[in-house]
Amino acid sequence: MNIALLLQMASEACPDRVAITFEGQHYDNQSLYEAAERAAAMFQSSGCRFISVLDTSSPAAPIALMGAAMAGLPYVPLNYRLTVEQLTGLIERIQPAFLITESTDCNYSVSQHMGRNDFLAAAMSDGPKIEAWHEDPSSVAVQLFTSGTTGTPKAALLRHEHLVSYILGSVEFMGADPDEATLVSVPPYHIAGISAVMSSIYACRRQVQLANFEPTLWVELCRTEAVTNAFVVPTMLTRIIDVLEQEASVADAFPALKSIAYGGGKMPIPVIERALALMPHVNFTNAYGLTETSSTITLLDPDDHREAISDPALRPRLGSVGKALPAIELEIRDEDGLAVSAGTPGEIYVRGPQVSGEYDGKSVLDSEGWFPTRDAGYLDEGGYLFLSGRADDVIVRGGENISPGEIEDLLLERDEIVDAAAVGVASEEWGESVALAVVVKSAVTDTEIKDYIREHLRSSRVPEKVLVVEELPYNETGKLLRRVVREWF
């Protein structure tokens, strides 16, 4: 099954329903489908082997995604926040490429280039449409470059069968009511942005696109476009809450909002508690997934949130990412690759039909189809997954493994501390020792922080160095950039 079939089904079932709202313009399902057919014809006749978009969110992204699928070509969205030098290196790896950018100017050597407006005009015109689709479900639908924080960026490959499996297993066809709208503010080059497009199309839910996140504008769009659903990363939610706390009435600010999903980074428990208290009428869902798993693999659903906020015994589950989706299997393994029991930390392994685990044409799945996520965490007795960062982020002090998350979670319970990041730094005595960067809203001394950690955790968790900063470094999808924090020390 080709991912473009999702759009074809939507265009046949509800052709007049608005699929996308962007800067005041509306595109219905039928128009979007026909635009993708025309784009596919352009792509096919270009002779290019890759279709790439270097731009913020706009209708060009979903049209290019579906058009590339119809033409049987990999869709490669690029991170517009990278430098020209970094982008040049990536573009050289996808030649010959058909590149779509916001501007009519192009700084890169590609086989074919179109500015966004020219591309949309051609796709929405009466030009020729593709005559025959590409039908191979095992072909590559999307290629996403990793961040490259530890070396040369890898190309993660997602095939049609992986993406379709995720959508069919998690989204109900035409499951959205006609008046539902989702606000999409995650970047189009991230798996969350791609899955938001496909999920909304299949559910026949209108997408309101926000090119660049700004909390006041986000709140205003929710109001003016009667947004019912939204996805945010933790750093976004914190800034949205700050705006809402200045509003006379949250109900007036969000007259239609029903659901907020969040993910992309670890959500501090105090932040989600503030959100639940401020928006009791909104259903919250925590979604955890990876590029290599075609997006979400676990969910902490609205009922889980309500139970955790009302029952002190279940409160810790607000710090989890919930349970695995029905088609997903999870295991926690130790350093020897052996599965461990509930409550024991280790590396998260995942298996299921939506899991690709493939880079540059080479699979990293083991012989039984398990993918090593390189994320660290543990499962509780109820099957809820708790993350503790990347496996590489574990601090090894004198042979003892220390999770940064346990230190950070403890400190965020203090009113004076807004954010915290624990990292390992070189130590002659211990190999590594703990260093801590904190953001505070009121005065707290290094000694008070160290004594608090010593009182609640082992002395090995007490940091040798504490640095107070104005803010911690996060990327646009809410992931803490620990390498930057390490550089501070």
Q: What is the pLDDT of residues 273-282, one digit of tens each?
A: 999 999 999 9
Note the pLDDT of residue 150: 47
The pTM is what?
A: 0.86
Measured between alpha carbons, how far is residue 14 from residues 31, 175, 197 in Å?
11, 12, 16
Average of per-residue pLDDT across 288-308: 96
Average of per-residue pLDDT across 105-134: 94
Cα 50 from Cα 288, distance rounded (Å): 29
pLDDT at 80 > cutoff 50: yes
Q: What is the mean pLDDT of the chain?
A: 93
Average of per-residue pLDDT across 288-316: 95
pLDDT at 250 > cutoff 80: no
Q: At how many degrees (to 10) do helices 4-13 and 191-203 cross?
A: 30
CATH number of this structure's domain 394-488, picked from the four choices 3.40.50.11740, 3.40.50.12280, 3.30.300.30, 3.10.20.600: 3.30.300.30
Note the pLDDT of residue 140: 97
pLDDT at 483 > cutoff 50: yes
Tokens of 183: 């606000």
Which has the higher per-residue pLDDT, 312 or 252?
312
The domains of the chain are located at 4-184, 394-488
pLDDT at 148 > cutoff 60: no
- The pLDDT confidence band at residue 151, using thresholds 50, 70 and 90, is low
Contact 402, 434 (CB under 8 A): yes
CATH 3.40.718.10 for domain 4-184? no
Residue 274 burial (CB count, 10 A) = 17
Note the pLDDT of residue 400: 78
Least confident of 205-209, 326-330, 340-344, 424-428: 424-428
Percent of the chain with pLDDT over 90: 76
Average of per-residue pLDDT across 429-435: 87
Average of per-residue pLDDT across 341-359: 95
Whose CA is closest to 275, among 322, 308, 311?
308
pLDDT at 199 > cutoff 90: yes
pLDDT at 149 > cutoff 60: no
pLDDT at 248 > cutoff 50: yes
Contact 354, 293 (CB under 8 A): yes
Alpha helices (H) in 214-313, listed in sequence order: 215-224, 234-244, 250-253, 269-278, 302-310
Tokens of 199: 């999920």
pLDDT digits (tens, 9 = 90+) for 439-466: 999 989 999 999 999 999 888 899 999 9
Cα 169 from Cα 328, distance rounded (Å): 10
Contact 132, 63 (CB under 8 A): no
pLDDT digits (tens, 9 = 90+) for 259-269: 999 998 778 88
Q: Give the phi and the psi of residue 263 in degrees, each rounded to 5.
A: 175, -170
